[in-house]
Every structure is written in C-alpha cells, then in structure tokens.
C-alpha cells in the first residue's frame, strides 16, 4: 500500500512539474475553442496584393497578378486560415471589379460609394459585430479615410492588405489577415473610427500613410504613432482619436452628391510654375491643394504658385496647403490668414484633397471649410 502511494505521489508530482514547465515557457495563452458566441466579422474584399498570387514562383514578391493569373477569392482566405474560426465567425463578400474589367488605375469613386453604402448597411445589421476590408496598399489610406468620413458606424472597421502576394514565400498577408480579424472582433476597437491593421500595428485611418514601396513596415503614422498593437497575446490600444470621424462625422454617404466637387493637387518645388494652377482653374476645379515646401509654402515670384493662387481665389476656388515634409503641421499663421489659404494641419495632400471635396459638397465659405479642417 505504501509503495503504491509513493508511486502515485511521484506520478502526480511529475505531471504537475511538466504542466508548470509548459505554462512557464508558454508565451501565447491558449485560444478558446470556437463556439456559438464568437463575434460575427464580415470580410469584404476590395482586392489588392493580398488577393494576388504568382503561380509556380513563391519567390516572386513584386511581379504578380495580371491577365490569366487567378485571383485569390475571399473564400480562399478563410479556407487557408482555419485559425480565423478560433476568434470569429467570418463571412465573406466580394466587392472587387470583375476579373475581365479593364484596369482603372486605382480605386474609383463608384467603388468608394458602393463600398461605403454596404458598410453603412452592415453598420445597421445587429448580427454583425465587426468588419474587415481588404484593399491594395497604394491607395488604401485614402479609401479608409473616405469611409472614416462617410460611414456612420461605431462597430470596428479594419482595413488590411499586404506588401507581398498571398502565394509568396514568407508573405505578410496571412498574419495581417488574421490580426485584422482579431482587431475587428475586439470590443475595444469599437468607436475609434476606421482603423488600419498591418505588420501587427494598429493605426487611425486619418493618420496612417504608406512610406515604403515594398517593405512590410510601410504603413506608419508619422506624427502620432500607432494607436495600438495586435500582439500574439492581446489586441491592445494606447490612444483614442480626438478628431471627428464615422458616427461623429457631419458627412454621410446617404447625403453625398452623386459626384463630389473636383479638387486637384499641385506640388511645390523650386521654380514650380503657376500656369499649372491656372490650367486647373480653367478645367473648372472647385478646390486646389498645394503640397508646399517646408511648413506648407507655395513657390513665389511673378510666375510662381503664389500669384496663381490669388488668381484662383479671385474666381472662387478654395486653396488648401499641406506640407511635403510629411511630418509636422501646417500652422495657422497671420501671413497665411492674410493670404486666404487654408492650412490642412498634418494631413497628407491626398487626404486633404478628399476632405476638401467633402467640405465643398456642403459649402464654399472659406471660414466654414477651415472649421472643417480644424475638426477632422
């Protein structure tokens, strides 16, 4: 009896020691098994590199897709990532243009309106807890910003993409996708506006921008840094957006005109001519964004941008200035107020252009437009 007891105690001790050792070494807590109460996340595909492949060549990470190359359907993402079923009940929707459609050179306004309307429908669907939108990285930040302005939603909306095709060796798409779904399924992500999740970082749609052509750490928020992280153990947020967005926005897809006012962007550089701005005005634009040097300065001189801005303003065109440095605000100085141009704070020119389009859809009053740039 004594011998049996000693053997039993020894077995129990070894088992406890083994379990304790495993737990001590375990960096990633176990994920709960799938159940009926998992959040419902809708995965909406707008295409992009993450939906591309280069058959037969896993080392091809820059030249992929194209005519005759099958695209990656959203259902394949779910099939390839059974791990998703551990964090959410994922359903898919495909909003890509048809495979045989001619290349449009990027996302079109028709696509933006179509997706925004669908996101608004999903926002009103009580059976949906979060949304993930895949997109090409070239203009992803603009599309996310559009949705941040146009969709009245408190549920998490997370944009995701990849720098390498789905078929690539060491592709970043699968982990980015998995983490984006995790973020969308996290209650703490609600009410923060449209988010961007790649490379384990979570950024606000307003602030994030693409800084590298091919590197996986391309998306960053230059001035403000990440809002949070999607680490293996937890999705963690460290800051909240202070600017108006989504459910706080005065704009909504239901009230936007069929076509937003025309706004163009002019780049400032040494001896940049004013005739480019004159040509824009002649084409009927309602607004111009000048991506200025330094802290947001157009080029001067009698044939430069400064005089062309005055001519444009005389014809009712609203002019906004950004800083090509991509870091730092365009400040509201006395000289700038005297010039009548509107500072875009720290928005990139493409985002300033989009916000100006939204603003001009409501008003042409420069004071009111400045108020909008101060609040968004």
Q: Which residues are catalytic?
A: 49
Query: In three state form, how does the secondary structure of the chain look?
Result: CHHHHHHHHHHHHHHHHHHHHHHHHCCCCCCCCCCCCCCEEEEEECCCHHHCCCCCCCCCCCCCCCCCCCCCCHHHHHHHCHHHHHCCEEEEEECCCCCCCCCCCCCCHHHHHHHHHHHHHHHCCCCCCEEEEECCCCCHHHHHHHHHHHCCCCCCEEEECCCCCCCCCCCCHHHHHHHHHHHHCCHHHCCCCEEEEECCEEEECCCCEECCCCCCCCEECCCCCCCEEECCCCEEECCCCCCCCHHHCCCCCCCCCCCCCCEEEEECCCCCCCHHHHHHHHCCCCEEEEEEECCCECCCCCCCHHHHHHHHHHCCCEEEEEECCCCCCECCCHHHHHHCCEECECCCHHHHHHHHHHHHCCCCCHHHHHHHHHHC
């Amino acid at each position: 009896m004594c011998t049996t007891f000693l053997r039993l105690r020894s077995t129990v001790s070894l088992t406890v020691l083994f379990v304790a050792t495993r737990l001590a070494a375990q960096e990633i807590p176990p994920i709960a098994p799938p159940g009926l109460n998992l959040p419902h996340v809708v995965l909406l595909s707008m295409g992009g590199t993450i939906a591309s492949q280069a058959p037969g060549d896993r080392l091809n990470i820059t030249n992929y897709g194209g005519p005759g190359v099958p695209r990656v359907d959203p259902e394949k993402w779910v099939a390839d990532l059974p791990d998703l079923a551990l964090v959410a009940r994922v359903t898919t929707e495909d909003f890509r243009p048809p495979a045989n459609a001619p290349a449009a050179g990027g996302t079109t306004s028709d696509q933006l309106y179509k997706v925004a309307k669908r996101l608004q429908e999903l926002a009103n669907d009580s059976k949906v807890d979060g949304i993930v939108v895949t997109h090409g990285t070239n203009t992803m930040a603009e599309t996310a910003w559009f949705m941040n302005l146009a969709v009245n939603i408190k549920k998490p909306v997370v944009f995701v993409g990849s720098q390498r095709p789905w078929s690539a060796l060491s592709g970043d798409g699968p982990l980015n996708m998995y983490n984006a779904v995790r973020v969308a399924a996290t209650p703490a992500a609600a009410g923060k506006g449209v988010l961007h999740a790649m490379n384990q970082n979570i950024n606000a749609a307003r602030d994030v921008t693409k800084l590298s052509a091919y590197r996986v750490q391309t998306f960053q928020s230059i001035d403000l840094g990440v809002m949070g992280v999607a680490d293996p153990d937890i999705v963690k947020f460290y800051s909240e957006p202070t600017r108006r967005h989504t459910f706080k926005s005065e704009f909504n897809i239901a009230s936007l005109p069929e076509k937003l006012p025309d706004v163009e962007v002019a780049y400032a550089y040494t001896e940049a001519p004013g005739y480019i701005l004159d040509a824009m005005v002649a084409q009927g634009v309602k607004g111009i964004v000048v991506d200025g040097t330094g802290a947001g300065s157009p080029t001067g001189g009698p044939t430069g941008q400064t005089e062309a801005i005055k001519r444009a303003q005389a014809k009712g065109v609203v002019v906004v200035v950004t800083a090509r440095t991509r870091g730092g605000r365009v400040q509201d100085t006395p000289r700038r107020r005297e010039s009548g141009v509107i500072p875009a704070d720290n928005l990139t020119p493409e985002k300033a252009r989009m916000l100006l389009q939204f603003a001009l859809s409501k008003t042409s009053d420069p004071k009111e437009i400045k108020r909008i740039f101060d609040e968004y």
